[in-house]
Amino acid sequence: MSLPSVLTLIADRKAGSLKPEAIDVARSLVKGKAPIVLSDGEAVDIPCPTPGPGSASAATIRATLAPYQTDALLLKTRGRRKAVLVADMDSTIVTGETLDEMAALLGIGQQVAAITRASMNGEIDFETSIEQRVALLAGHPASVLEEVWKTVTLTEGARELVCTMRKHNARTALVSGGFTWFTQKVAELCGFDENYGNSLEIVDGKMTGRLDAPVLGPDAKLSHLEDLTAERGVQLKAALTTGDGANDIPMLANAGLGLAFHAKPNVKKIIGTQINFANLRAHLFAQGYKAADFVID
């Protein structure tokens, strides 16, 4: 009979293998059983009892394993595999911030990046920030979108995450505060079922500094999560969400498994399930998938 909880450890492959010492330390913290290898030298499951009074907290476990550059997720065994995936795009599925990169090419990078930082750190609301940033694009050629697309790079593990979950009948959606011009291309590249973002108004080959439709911000991200789970016929606890910024907090907080992925400090203060070292493959290990189960088609 399986134990009710599991501690999943995932190492940053670029920093080296998952160290046996880290596994031993983790087992002692949770009174865990022998590790189950999910990926040799990269990830293991440690079955363990439900944490009780006096048990090490998830935050303590995470901090203890951090020197090993190892992520630690303490999760319930039941219902680990999720039926819905909702992912942020910028600095999550792709490595950069597409709007910031557009601005840099247009010579307004510092102005836009300052607003982006304030928004992602929760210092100004997302709707205000996106309107301010888009306004700075007014009059500039839309051809900059193509230039940025040439430099867009998927985060390691992005295709594996989406394709593996789809193979196991999960519904997958890219939901971004960025522009649909990019979300459509990234979704196709990764294999997402659908994508949502903000529509940038372009007239006569130039950006007008306005959006075509209401802003897709944190509340809209949560609404998409709620709609997607309802359409899939499952509860929110059957969903996995991932993101890095303040506008992702509502969907991270309300999903069965919300993972703060290399997130901003204010996000990590609120969301306790975090991936701070590993790549997007960690989202599959968190669901109990083994590397042998991964697909990229």
Domains in the chain: boundaries: 1-78, 81-297
| Cα 183 to Cα 174: distance, rounded to the nearest angstrom | 7
Quick one: pLDDT at residue 287?
A: 98
Task: Give me the pLDDT at residue 101, please.
Answer: 95
Whole-number pLDDT of residue 65: 97
CA distances from 270 to 128, 217, 237 (A): 22, 18, 18
Per-residue model confidence as pLDDT tens digits over 105-127: 999 999 998 998 888 788 898 89
d(CA 159, CA 182): 16
The pLDDT value recorded for residue 113 is: 87
Res 54: pLDDT: 87
Q: Over the stretch 136-165, which tens digit does the pLDDT of each residue have? A: 999 999 999 999 999 999 999 999 999 999
What is the Cα–Cα distance from 184 to 196, expressed in whole angstroms? 8
pLDDT of residue 75: 97
Exactly one of 12, 45, 71, 88 is catalytic; which is it? Answer: 88
Residue 251 sits at the vertex; the CA angle it makes with 66 and 56, to the nearest 5 degrees, is 35
**What pLDDT does 120 receive?**
75
Residues in the chain, pLDDT under 70: 1
Active-site residue flag, 88: yes
- Choosing from 12, 45, 71, 90, the catalytic residue is 90
Cβ atoms of 242 and 258 within 8 Å: the answer is yes
Q: Which fold has domain 1-78?
A: Alpha-Beta Plaits (3.30.70)
Q: Which CATH architecture has domain 81-297?
A: 3-Layer(aba) Sandwich (3.40)
State the pLDDT at residue 119.
82
Provide the residue type at 59 as one letter. A
User: Do the domains 81-297 and 1-78 match in fold?
Assistant: no
State the pTM of this model.
0.95
From CA 257, how far away is CA 220, in angstroms rounded? Answer: 19
Q: Is 24 a catalytic residue?
A: no
